[in-house]
Amino acid sequence: MSQPAVANLIGGQDARHGRLERLHAELSARCPTCRLRLNRNGKTMLSLRGRPGASVVSVHVGLLDHPDALTDLPEWIASNGRRTSPRLRHALQEVWRDQRQHHLAAIPVALPDLDYLPTPFNLAALFDHIHTTWFVHLSKPAIHWGRNSPRRRRLSSIRFACYRSRPQPAIVVNPRLGQPWVPRIFLEHVLYHELCHHAQANAPIRGEPPHSRRFRQWESQYPHHEIARAWKKVNLERFLVG
């Protein structure tokens, strides 16, 4: 990585420069075949790619503020990314929270007062409304709640719903969406999103990715699209912790 690129990533802080140099030196000594890259990826903050003898380790720049955790990085690389020490895991969580706060501060949409459905609500009736209002020209897929699997640890990511076209079109909805603090427009947005996948399946284009430009154009036609996206950004952490 070039010096200007490094300076842009780490912000010109002397402490970070020093830690980066020490990390380079330690990796050169203990993992001489690894190449180090810095990133500002909000989702994949630490990754190891390549093959034994020619690996690339990508490290979020925020980890440079956690020198104790960085000392565990060679062991993490040696395990091929399978064993994450407690302090490295804690540092990743701290960096994720910092990134999250920075991201939320940049959200330009002011959230209005939102409507909420009674709990438990009728998923089939809400789905009928979305289908009839915007997708009546398409056949209606089946819909049902997914399994509610309790977890001890905080999730690192979440899929709100899943569409499958075979053997019969169906949408499976994450039961975490059934919580009383989830507003109606976000529930509608998730169902609308999955019906856009159903529309794709009914008019396939060879080689088209799931979230193509065509798909994004369809999805953006939901009237409360931007508000629903902004609400998700603000409340994602609540879903991840349960």
**Residues 6+ positions from 69 with CB-CB distance below 8 Å:** 63, 85, 87, 88, 90, 91, 92
Of all residues in the chain, the percent with pLDDT exceeding 90 is 40
Residues 121 and 239: their CA atoms lie apart, in Å, by 18
Domain ranges for the chain:
3-105, 123-240
Task: Confirm if 163 and 93 have CB atoms less than 8 A apart.
Answer: no
User: How is residue 33 written in tokens?
Assistant: 């075949």
27-41, 177-191, 227-241 — which is least confidently predicted?
27-41
- CA of residue 157 relative to chain centroid, distance: 5
Burial of residue 25 (CB within 10 Å: 0-12, 13-18, 19+) is exposed
User: Tokens 């009728």 belong to which residue?
Assistant: 122
Which residue stretches of 106-209 are H helix? Answer: 123-134, 184-202
pLDDT single digits (tens) 59-105: 888 888 888 888 888 888 888 888 888 899 888 888 877 776 666 55
Helix (H) or strand (E) segment spanning residue 4 = helix 3-10
Confidence (pTM): 0.62
Task: Give the 3-state secondary structure of residue 172.
Answer: strand
Q: Walk across the sheet containing 46-51 and list its strands.
A: 35-39, 54-60, 46-51
Residue bearing the bigger pLDDT, 57 or 170: 170
- Mean pLDDT for the chain? 85
CATH number for the 123-240 domain, one of 3.30.160, 3.30.2010, 1.10.260, 1.10.3430? Answer: 3.30.2010
- CA of residue 135 relative to chain centroid, distance: 27
Residue bearing the bigger pLDDT, 26 or 121: 121
Helix (H) or strand (E) segment spanning residue 18 = helix 14-30
The per-residue pLDDT for 5 is 44
pLDDT, mean of residues 169-187: 95
In this structure, how many other beta carbons lie within 10 angstroms of the beta carbon of residue 134?
19
The per-residue pLDDT for 226 is 92
User: How is residue 187 written in tokens?
Assistant: 């529930």
